[in-house]
Amino acid sequence: MKEKICILGSGIAALQLAVHLDSRYDVTIITKSQTKTSNSYKAQGGIAAVLSPEDRFEFHVKDTIRAGCRHHNEKEVEKLVKEGAAVVEELVKSGLPADRRPDGGLDLGLEGAHTVHRILHCGGDATGKFVIQHLLGQLGKSVRMIEHELAFELMVSAETGRVTGVKTKTADGNIRHYFSDHTVIATGGLGSLYPFTSNHPEIIGDGIAMAYRAGAELADMEFVQFHPTLLYAEGRAKGLVSEAVRGEGAVLVDENGSPVMAGVHPLKDLAPRHVVAHQIHQTIHSGKKVFLDIRKIKNFEKRFPTISRICRESGIDIHSGLLPIVPGSHFFMGGIVVDTYGRTTVNGLYAIGEAAASGVHGANRLASNSLLEGLVFGKRLAAFLNALEPEAAGGETAEIDRPPLNPEIARRLDTVTLKKKMMENAGVIRSETGLRHLLQWLQARGADTFSAFSLGHLAKEEMEKVFMFTNSLLITQSALCRKESRGAHIRADYPDESSGWQGVHLIHAKNKGLITRRGLYEQAPTSIHA
């Protein structure tokens, strides 16, 4: 009898894992929408990897740590960079249609905070789409894909504390049980907790909230990265403008044509994302509009076809050479605490990709390291699982019992107001006053109690509301606790980095509350299951 693996999510980390698992496993991939509804598929930017003679591993490591403000597990960064180069080379050799120069060599781009051209692209600005399509074509016969089912609860044995599978809610409201020997969360981040975001609307951190509810530790919830350049029209964010555009020579200017980044950072428009997003935010709040001046880029529509299409669909005139932009939530550096293989603090449960706090991104992810992380950790977890001795442990068992949440409470949750308040109080710039206001607002709606209740009787939309409020509460608590500015976490009342906070991680543990720890898991090695 084959062992069962259940993977939640269908992005790059999930598919890379599924591709590399041995045929001894029956693999079920569950996604709450369509297979291609993921941030990975939408990714315009490329994959950062050491692929040229001019580049070195140590350069990529230094760029990663510098951009992330030294909040990393440096050993994991080194492993990511070294393994990443081999993984990307393997991907190209397997047929990924990478962009190439006229001489046939890889056409490697430059993005913010990188000191070397090392970004591999496909289709100009459609790398994620091409990688996802490539991986889907490599899936084996033992992999089945289930769409339009929301995973809402991990089944946890009341006797052993082990995760034995997952419950889902179907489109017609039925509940299904999927028992598994190993359950993997690869559901991505939580960018759609904010009104301005590059993320798909369904990316709300449901996998992260589920893991927390099951007892898994979370870390670094305060570190939400805001991308500096989202297209802005009609009061809404219309889509991402890749950092590669600035890498090709585009410049940020205000409505008067003055360079926004002049004198702010030595790298100017290619400064780390948190620096650029902060400056744009300040400029907009001073009453000025901000534009991306693309007039120096030749053949823009050919080089960036996806961005050009979004502009046309949004009524933005590319030929003016000025693209209106605004910062928006983009990537989540925190998430579920994992070790080097993706094992969480709960037996039988794993996490990879953006949902995981792996220690490789620090306080501010380096551009194009996200797809790299998914590829590396997906393959690494597959190798770990393939090496395990066969052990069929998944199956029906007595679960931890919880009372049902009052449906009326869930129905009354207002996500439009939530997003607005998150942007205002836990967005690009934060303060004690704003965060305390937000915390009180969330607590008044019961967000600090939701994890004690079962959700199976709720509608899909109500479950998602609960997850959104839970994650927002955890972000707010962490942001309030970290009294410094570091990377994507910027406090107006604590504007500088603090040596006392160097290397300190804020850990959410369901039964322990919010605790501090130096290292994600190094100080508690036994907490990661064997």
CA 488 to chain centre: 13
Residue pair 470/209 in contact (Cβ under 8 Å)? The answer is: yes
Choice among 273, 380, 482, 486 that is catalytic: 273
Residue pair 59/116 in contact (Cβ under 8 Å)? The answer is: yes
**Euclidean distance between the first and final Cα of the chain, in Å?**
23
CA 53 to chain centre: 30
Collapse the DSSP code of 74 into the 3-class scheme (helix H, G, I; strand E, B; otherwise coil) and give the result: helix
Residue keyed to tokens 């439009």: 416
Residue pair 121/99 in contact (Cβ under 8 Å)? The answer is: yes
Q: Which residues partner with 326 through β-bridges?
A: 230
Short-list 397, 412, 505, 421, CA closest to 450: 412
**Residues 334, 81: Cα–Cα separation, whole Å:** 19
Cβ atoms within 10 Å, residue 529: 15
Short-list 32, 9, 384, CA closest to 186: 9
DSSP string, 173-226: S-EEEEE-SEEEE-----GGGSSSBSS-TT-S-HHHHHHHHTT--EE-TT-EEE
Kindly give, in sequence order, each residue whose CB lies less than 8 Å from that of residue 115, ignoring residues fewer than 6 positions away.
59, 62, 63
The helix (run of H) or strand (run of E) holding residue 415 is helix 415-426
Told to judge if 517 belongs to the known catalytic residues of this protein, a careful annotator would answer no
Cβ atoms within 10 Å, residue 445: 18
Residues labelled as active-site residues:
273
